[in-house]
Structure 1
C-alpha cells in the first residue's frame, strides 16, 4: 500500500473509534384516548387530568408508587401521635414551584384549607373531611390535626386531588399548571397534544426525558395506526384490544396486560323512577351477561365483578353470583315492579371504547327483557356536566378508576343518588379503623350491601392493555392510581 493510502486508512479508522456512541432518545410521545377538560387535578374528576400531570407536573406530601404503596414526596418524613390524631410532616429542602417561588408549609396549608373550604371545587372533597386544622409551624414543618383517627389518611394525601399548589397560581392551573414536579408545562393545543419538558431546577432526582408529549387520539383505529407508524411511542391504556395480537407478533413493541382500579359499571340513577325501585335494579342485574360484554367489547380483557371493588385487593369478595344472568328472572321482577311490558330509558355513553362498545351490547341484553334503551353518545365534557354533575341521565357506562373508592356510595349528593344509612355507618367505622383485618371485614360487608341493593350494574374490572416501543423502560404496567408517571421512563438505546 502506498504511504498516502495507508495514512488515509489510519485516519478513517481513528475517526471511527472517536465517534461517540449514538445517544439514547430523550423525547417521548404517549397516546391518550381522552383529552382532559383542564389540567388542575385539585378541581376536576376526570382521570385524564391525572394521567397527564400526576407525579409529572404536580406532587403531594405523599405519593402512590407503581405498587400502590405510600411513599414520601414533598414530605420527606412524618410522625404520628399516639392517639392517631396529629401528623407532623417535615418538608424536603429546596423545593420550588415552576415559576421559581419557594414551596413552603404555607403552601401546604393553603392547598388543604382550599380543598376543605365550603366553596371548594375539589372533586374528592370527602378526602379532606377528617382534617380539623392545618398549621404551618415553620417553613419546613406542617402539623395536621384530625377530627378522628383515619387509617387511610396518608394514602388519601397521595391522590392527585391532594397535590400542593401555590396561592399565586392556583386560579390559573387549569390552563397553565404550575407545580413542583420534575416536568414543567410547555403548551396545550386543544384537540391535539399537551407538551411538558424537563424541569432543570427540580429538587429531587432528575428525569431521563427532556420532553414528553401527550397526543390525543380517541379513535381505536387511529391509535393502532399511530403506533404502527411510530408516530407515538406508547399507549399505556391502549383502546383497541382487538389489535393486541398484531403488536404481540411485532418485535418493535412490548405488550403488557396490567390491572387497574377501574370498576366499570352501568351507572344507575337510583333517585329517578323507575330506577328507585329495587326490583327494577335487580331485573337489570339479572339481564346483564358480564362475560358477553367482556368478550364483545373488550375482546376478553377484564375480570367480572359483582360489587364496586377491585378483584386484586385482599378484601375482595366475589359477588358475581348475587344476581346471575337470568333473563326470565329479570322479566318476572319487572312484572312484580309493575312493568310487565318493560319500559323505555336512555343510555348516555362517553367516548371510551369500553362504554361505546359495551353500551351496544347492554342495550341488546336489556332489550330482550323489555327495557328499550335509547343510546345517546356524549363527549367527555358533556358527560361530566350532564351525568356526573347534573344527574341528568337514566343509565350510563363509566369506569371509576380512583383507588379504593367504595366510599363514594356514602356521599349524600353523588351522581348515583344512592342512600343507605347502614352502608354509611360501615364507611364511618372503616374511616376510623386502623387494624388491617378489621378494615378488610368492613370492606367485605360494604361490598355485600352494594351488591344486594343492585345499586349499579357491576360489569368488570378494567384491564390495562399497554403497548409501547420495545426500547422503552420505566412505564407502569398496572394502574394503582390514575396516572402516567414518567419519572422513571427512559430509552434503552
Structure 2
C-alpha cells in the first residue's frame, strides 16, 4: 500500500470517528384537532382527554387494543365465578405511579369507589353501575362482586373513565396527571401543545419513543400546512379530507382510512319546543340528504347511519331507510305539528370540520323546508359548558366517539339531548342483565329501532378515521375502537 493510500484511509477513519452514525429518531409530534379541556379521564367526557392520556399516561385493569379486543393491563389475569358475578383480578407487580407511590389493590378500590360515589363527576358513571362491591383481598388481588352477571364488564374496565388513580393526586389530575403509564406529563402549554416523555420507572415494556408532543391545530388548512412543512409528524384524525389525494401522491407520507366509534349526529334538545314533538324531529330527519352531506362535508368519507350504532358492529341494524330524503314529507310533518311555515332555531357548532362544514350544509337543507337556523360557532370549552353541561341549545352537531354508548339514551334529562322513554330504558335494563351474546345483540337491535322510531336525533354518518403521517412511522392505530392515540407501540423504522 502506498503512503498516499495509507493517508487517505486514515483520513476516512478519522472522519468516521468525527461523524458518528445518526441516532434513531425517538420523538414524535402528533397533530390533534381539539385541545382537551383538562387531562383527567375520570372527570370529563371530551374525547380529546383520552386521545392524549389513554394508555400513555393512565392505565386501567384492562385495556382495549387496536382491534377492539380486551387485553390485560394493570390486571395481568382474572378469574370469573361460575355464576358470573365475582371477578378476581391479579395485579401486575412492581407498578408505581409517576409520583413514586407503589400501586396496590387499595388504589383500585379507591378509584372505583370514587367513580361510583354519589357525588362522582365521572362522565361514564354508569359503567360502574353493575358493581356491588370492590375489595382488596391482598395488595396484589382485587375482587369485584356484581349485582348481576354483566358480560361487558371487562370491556368497560378498559375505558379511559376506569383508569386507576393515586389518592393524593386525584384532585389535581386535571392539570398535573399522575398515572402508571409508560409516559409522564412534562408540560402543558395551554392553547398550543402537551408534552410527555418516557417514565423511567415504568413497570411494563418500555416504549420506543422517548418523548412525544400533542400539537393542537383545529383549522383544516393549517393542519395540511403543518404536515407538509414537517411541523407535525402525524395526524391520526386528519381534519382535511379534501387533501388526502395530495398526500397519497407524495411518497413522504402514508394515508389510511379506518373506522371509528364516532356516531355523528344532529343532536336535538328533545325537551325544548318545537323539538318535543316527534313529528318535528321526524321532519328534520326527512329533510337532510345524508349522501350530499357526506360528499360535501367529508369529501365522500363516511358511512350513513340510521341510529346510534356503529355499522361495523355485528349487532348493527341498517335503519338508514327509516327516514329517506323527502322534502315534501318533511313539510307535511311540520304542518301536522302546527308549523306550516316552518320555524327558527339555533345551531351551535363546535370546531371540528365535520361540524362546521356539515352545519352549513344542514342549515341550507333545512331552509328548503322552512326551518331557518342561526349558526353559532363555539369553541370546544364553550360547547362543553353551554351544550353538554348546560342544555343551552336547540340543535348541535357532534360525533359521539365512546364505544358501545347507546346506553347514554337511558339517562333522560341528565343527558344533554334530554330524551325520556320508559320503553327504551326497559330495553337497556334488560340488556345490562343479559350475558348471552346473541340475546344481547337482539336487545341492541331493539334499542336501535326505538331510537330511530322516536327520531331522538338526526343520525348522520359514522365518522371515518383519516390518518396521515410520515413514511417510516409504524404502530399508529388505523381504526379507533376507543378514543385513543396509543403511542406505546409507535416507532420510527427510518
After TM superposition, the score normalised by the length of structure 2 is 0.98
- Aligned counterpart, 1:326: 326
- Aligned counterpart, 2:244: 244
Distance 1:50 1:8 in 2: 59
Question: Structure 2, unaligned stretches of length 5 or more?
Answer: none
Give the 5 Å matches for 1:420-439.
Answer: 420-439=421-440
Distance 1:432 1:22 in 2: 58
Distance 2:151 2:220 in 1: 41
After TM superposition, the score normalised by the length of structure 1 is 0.98
Distance 1:360 1:441 in 2: 37
Residue 411 (structure 1) shift: 1.0
- Aligned counterpart, 2:417: 416
Residue 17 (structure 1) shift: 6.8
- Aligned counterpart, 2:469: 468
Residue 387 (structure 1) shift: 0.8
Distance 1:126 1:300 in 2: 35
Give the 5 Å matches for 1:112-191.
Answer: 112-191=112-191
Distance 2:159 2:11 in 1: 57
CA deviation profile, 1:177-230 (whole Å, cap 9, x unmatched):
000000011000001110000011110000000000001111111110000000
Residue 20 (structure 1) shift: 5.3
Give the SS at the match of 1:108: helix
Distance 1:14 1:382 in 2: 62
Distance 1:15 1:279 in 2: 83
- Aligned counterpart, 1:486: 487
- Aligned counterpart, 1:298: 298
Distance 1:316 1:21 in 2: 53
Distance 1:259 1:368 in 2: 32
Give the SS at the match of 1:37: coil
- Aligned counterpart, 1:455: 456
- Aligned counterpart, 2:62: 62
CA deviation profile, 1:158-188 (whole Å, cap 9, x unmatched):
0000000010100000000000000011000
- Aligned counterpart, 1:402: 402
- Aligned counterpart, 1:10: 9
Residue 10 (structure 1) shift: 2.0
1:210 aligns with 2:213: no
Question: Structure 1, unaligned stretches of length 5 or more?
Answer: none
- Aligned counterpart, 2:198: 198
Distance 1:255 1:8 in 2: 50
Q: What CA RMSD, in Å, does the superposition of the two structures yield over aligned residues?
A: 1.1
Residue 426 (structure 1) shift: 1.1
Give the SS at the match of 1:437: helix
- Aligned counterpart, 1:30: 30
Report the number of matched residues: 492
Residues 425-434 or 461-470, more deviating: 425-434
Distance 2:15 2:461 in 1: 57
Give the SS at the match of 1:464: strand
Give the SS at the match of 2:167: coil
Give the SS at the match of 2:188: strand
Distance 1:113 1:139 in 2: 17
CA deviation profile, 1:68-124 (whole Å, cap 9, x unmatched):
000000000011111111111110000000011101101000000000011100000
CA deviation profile, 1:385-423 (whole Å, cap 9, x unmatched):
111111111000000000000010011311111111111
Residue 429 (structure 1) shift: 1.4
Distance 1:108 1:357 in 2: 43
Residue 2 (structure 1) shift: 4.7
